[in-house]
């Protein structure tokens, strides 16, 4: 497979000492022309390129730092100061003015929160739950990215298969036109058959152009899902659940020698099958799919265990509970300890000393605290309602996707039978037309039915894959390609180092350019 994948999903981001190597691995994904990409390849590319995932990483970094800020309440605060003082004034006894000069002085103090009756602890717990929610938001972004790639990948497979149906349909219509033209010139068929053959050939070519355009648009949508612009031409491979055979199976729909004998035609009349090869799309060859392994009840159970958005909301509820406690405790005092040292030097004496104090203080507005508690309780109830709503939507969304998938599992074998039956009917209609027992309209009806049966079968396979991917997304089924926030929690640091290196390289290049210009001037 010709593909350059430099991914940041490596353990180097878990080890601080290898961050320089990580900078080298975080690069834009490049797809070489003529590459054959699998679904996993496309998912890896999307996970590396997605700005949505990068945004969730930075949000997680913010949440982690917010925990550190909350914990800093128990870290001592240091205050330093240097000053110079000089006073001027009149003496009270009227004997003239005076001037008091203080040479530079120094003050230092250390303040430590000893206890604030659970306010700091509630704030720390709240930020920890916010960090957990941010981590689950990251997981949600990963699953959404994978799901979007799957949808567009299956759309490309379906569009490619339908394009092949139309391509083969053009060949069959070309063959029918050539044969009808030969028969018309021999006086065996009427002018109306020839006109109908021309119309059907033109219509099939138009349908092929439309199918090609649909395929190109599907490729564009897949590129968008992978966040890849200006991608060269590439192809994609089938998946285990979308493994329709390549529709390149040569097949003659008639046996001209046999029918020449029946019609007693001269030997110099050749059927179009010798000039234009007719093919059929053998999409059914080797197509199998494993049925979904879980029941509906089990699917709901898996979803409640795995859904990152549900876990994120549950963590948010816990964070809001801590926020309510924090708000209610605003009126409680803060117990702080202070240690200070000061030094001052005047013309008459030096003044220095140390002071130690313990303070218990509280400042609050009763009315303000009351309304802030009401707001916090309302936000907590809102978060609980969001969890309840998601649980209900989760149940019905899984049910809808499950029903769609099961119905398609039942439809696909029936549609497969329909494809084989319409193909058999087309071959019989073609033979009847050859021997003069059937007319051109019957032949075209059989061809249209065969085309429609193939298209319906391909569409059902596509719908099945979409329904299955949707169901797997709804239950957050673990994926082969995924990320954990631990693997890339230092990603922002790596980007900063990369930016510094780029700025340094640009500065050096500018400096070198100036040196070259000086040499040229000399």
Q: What is the CATH number of the domain that holds 434?
A: 1.20.1600.10
Largest CA distance in the chain: 149
Asked whether residue 224 carries a pLDDT value surpassing 90, the answer given is: yes
pLDDT tens string 343-370: 776 655 566 778 888 888 888 788 888 8
Residue 315's pLDDT is: 93
Evaluate whether 326 touches 122 at the Cβ level (below 8 Å): yes
User: Going by C-beta distance under 8 Å and a sequence separation of 6 or more, which residues neighbour residue 121?
Assistant: none
User: Going by C-beta distance under 8 Å and a sequence separation of 6 or more, which residues neighbour residue 157?
Assistant: 236, 238, 239, 242, 244, 462, 465
Between 505 and 39, the more confident residue is 39
Total Cβ atoms within 10 A of residue 292: 17
Do the domain assignments include residue 319? yes
Number of domains the chain contains: 1
Mean pLDDT of 463-485: 82
Mean pLDDT of 242-262: 47
Residues paired with residue 83 on neighbouring β-strands, in sequence order: 105
Residue 484's pLDDT is: 61
Total Cβ atoms within 10 A of residue 375: 12
Q: Which residue has the tokens 């400042």?
A: 363
Residue 203's pLDDT is: 92
Mean pLDDT of 392-410: 91
Q: Which two tokens stand for residue 447?
A: 């061809």
The Cα–Cα gap between 135 and 418 comes to: 49
Between 99 and 311, the more confident residue is 311
Residue 495's pLDDT is: 57
Mean pLDDT of 199-205: 91
Evaluate whether 227 touches 51 at the Cβ level (below 8 Å): yes
Q: Which of 382-386, 439-443, 461-465 has the lowest mean pLDDT?
A: 439-443
Mean pLDDT of 374-379: 92
Residue 270's pLDDT is: 44
Do the domain assignments include residue 363? yes
The Cα–Cα gap between 431 and 438 comes to: 8
Residue 286's pLDDT is: 53
Residue 374's pLDDT is: 93
Question: Could you say which DSSP state residue 242 is in?
Answer: B
Question: Hey, which of 59-73, 172-186, 350-364 has the most confident mean pLDDT?
Answer: 59-73
Do the domain assignments include residue 185? yes
Mean pLDDT of 419-443: 82
Residue 171's pLDDT is: 85
Residue 343's pLDDT is: 77
% pLDDT > 90, the chain: 29
Asked whether residue 81 carries a pLDDT value surpassing 90, the answer given is: no
Q: Name the pLDDT band for 9 (thresholds 50, 70, 90).
A: very low
Evaluate whether 411 touches 460 at the Cβ level (below 8 Å): yes
Q: Which two tokens stand for residue 216?
A: 């190109």
Q: Name the pLDDT band for 18 (thresholds 50, 70, 90).
A: very low
Asked whether residue 489 carries a pLDDT value surpassing 60, the answer given is: no
Q: Name the pLDDT band for 439 (thresholds 50, 70, 90).
A: confident
Q: Which of 79-88, 279-288, 450-459, 509-518 has the lowest mean pLDDT?
A: 279-288
Residue 269's pLDDT is: 41
Between 19 and 194, the more confident residue is 194
The Cα–Cα gap between 437 and 259 comes to: 12
Do the domain assignments include residue 87? yes
Q: Which two tokens stand for residue 79?
A: 């205050």
Residue 483's pLDDT is: 59
Query: Judging by DSSP bridges, how do beta strands 235-236 and 36-37 pair with one another?
Result: parallel
Between 378 and 241, the more confident residue is 378
Do the domain assignments include residue 404? yes
Mean pLDDT of 162-182: 86
Residue 233's pLDDT is: 87
In whole angstroms, how large is the CA radius of gyration of the chain? Answer: 38
- Domain holding 328, by residue range, is 33-67+77-489
Q: Name the pLDDT band for 29 (thresholds 50, 70, 90).
A: low
Query: Judging by DSSP bridges, how do beta strands 235-236 and 350-361 pair with one another?
Result: unpaired
The Cα–Cα gap between 293 and 409 comes to: 12
The Cα–Cα gap between 213 and 228 comes to: 20
Asked whether residue 277 carries a pLDDT value surpassing 70, the answer given is: no
Do the domain assignments include residue 13? no
pTM given for the model: 0.75
Q: Is residue 102 classed as helix, strand or coil in its secondary structure?
A: strand
Total Cβ atoms within 10 A of residue 68: 11
Residue 356: φ, ψ to 5°? -130, 135
Asked whether residue 142 carries a pLDDT value surpassing 60, the answer given is: yes
Residue 280: φ, ψ to 5°? -120, 155
Question: Hey, which of 84-88, 332-336, 470-474 has the most confident mean pLDDT?
Answer: 470-474
Mean pLDDT of 243-264: 45
Residue 47's pLDDT is: 87
Total Cβ atoms within 10 A of residue 486: 11
Residue 386's pLDDT is: 93
Q: Name the pLDDT band for 103 (thresholds 50, 70, 90).
A: low
Q: Is residue 86 classed as helix, strand or coil in its secondary structure?
A: strand
Mean pLDDT of 252-263: 42
Do the domain assignments include residue 495? no
Between 383 and 507, the more confident residue is 383
Q: Name the pLDDT band for 175 (thresholds 50, 70, 90).
A: confident
Mean pLDDT of the chain: 78
Do the domain assignments include residue 506? no
């Amino acid at each position: 497979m010709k593909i350059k994948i430099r991914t940041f999903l490596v353990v180097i981001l878990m080890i601080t000492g290898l961050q320089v190597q990580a900078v080298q691995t975080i690069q834009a994904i490049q797809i070489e022309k003529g590459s054959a990409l699998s679904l996993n390849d496309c998912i890896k590319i999307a996970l590396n390129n997605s700005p949505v995932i990068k945004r969730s990483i930075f949000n997680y970094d913010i949440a982690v730092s917010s925990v550190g800020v909350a914990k800093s309440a128990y870290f001592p605060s240091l205050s330093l100061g240097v000053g110079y003082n000089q006073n001027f004034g009149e003496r009270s006894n009227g004997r003239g003015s005076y001037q008091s000069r203080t040479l530079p002085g120094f003050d230092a103090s250390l303040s430590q929160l000893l206890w604030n009756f659970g306010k700091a602890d509630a704030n720390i717990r709240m930020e920890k739950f916010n960090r957990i929610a941010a981590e689950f938001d990251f997981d949600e972004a990963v699953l959404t990215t994978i799901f979007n790639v799957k949808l567009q990948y299956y759309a490309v497979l379906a569009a490619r298969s339908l394009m092949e149906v139309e391509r083969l349909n053009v060949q069959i219509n070309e063959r029918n036109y050539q044969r009808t033209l030969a028969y018309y010139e021999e006086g065996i068929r009427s002018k109306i058959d020839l006109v109908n053959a021309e119309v059907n050939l033109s219509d099939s070519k138009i349908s092929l152009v439309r199918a090609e355009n649909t395929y190109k648009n599907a490729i564009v949508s897949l590129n968008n899902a992978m966040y890849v612009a200006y991608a060269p031409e590439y192809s994609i491979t089938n998946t285990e659940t979308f493994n329709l055979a390549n529709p390149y199976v040569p097949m003659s729909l008639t046996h001209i020698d046999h029918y020449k004998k029946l019609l007693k035609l001269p030997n110099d009349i050749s059927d179009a099958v010798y000039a234009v090869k007719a093919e059929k799309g053998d999409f059914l060859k080797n197509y199998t799919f494993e049925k979904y392994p879980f029941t509906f009840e089990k699917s709901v159970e898996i979803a409640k265990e795995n859904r990152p958005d549900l876990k994120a909301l549950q963590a948010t509820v816990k964070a809001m509970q801590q926020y309510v406690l924090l708000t209610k405790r605003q009126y409680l005092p803060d117990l702080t300890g202070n240690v200070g040292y000061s030094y001052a030097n005047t013309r008459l004496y030096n003044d220095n000393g140390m002071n130690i104090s313990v303070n218990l203080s509280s400042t609050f507005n009763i009315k303000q605290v009351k309304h802030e508690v009401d707001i916090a309780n309302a936000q907590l109830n809102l978060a609980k309602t969001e969890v309840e709503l998601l649980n209900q939507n989760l149940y019905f969304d899984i049910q809808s996707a499950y029903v769609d998938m099961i119905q398609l599992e039942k439809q696909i074998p029936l549609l497969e039978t329909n494809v084989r039956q319409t193909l058999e009917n087309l071959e019989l209609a073609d033979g009847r037309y050859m021997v003069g027992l059937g007319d051109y309209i019957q032949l075209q009806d059989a061809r249209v039915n065969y085309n429609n049966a193939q298209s319906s079968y391909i569409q059902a396979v596509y719908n099945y894959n979409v329904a299955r991917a949707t169901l797997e997304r709804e239950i957050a089924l673990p994926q082969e390609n995924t990320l954990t926030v631990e693997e890339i929690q230092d990603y922002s640091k790596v980007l900063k180092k990369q930016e510094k290196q780029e700025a340094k390289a640009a500065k050096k290049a500018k400096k070198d350019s100036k040196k070259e210009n000086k040499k040229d001037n000399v």
